[in-house]
Amino acid sequence: MLNSHNSPRIVCLTGGIGSGKTTAAALFEDLGV
């Protein structure tokens, strides 16, 4: 979640970190990482 500081909305997404890396993968795709 090192990218959480780049976009405020990602903080909300990572807030559901209980979902694990599935959430991380989804937000990274959205970022185009």
Instruction: Round to whole Å and give the CA distance between 16 and 8.
Output: 14
Residue 31 has pLDDT above 60, yes or no: yes
pLDDT top residue among 30 and 12: 30
pLDDT band at 33 (very low <50, low <70, confident <90, very high): low
pLDDT band at 8 (very low <50, low <70, confident <90, very high): low
Q: So what's the pLDDT on residue 30?
A: 76
Number of domain units in the chain:
1
For residue 18, give its domain range. Answer: 2-31
pLDDT top residue among 5 and 22: 22
Q: How many C-alpha atoms does 14 have within 13 Å on its Cβ side?
A: 14
Q: So what's the pLDDT on residue 7?
A: 57
Q: So what's the pLDDT on residue 27?
A: 72
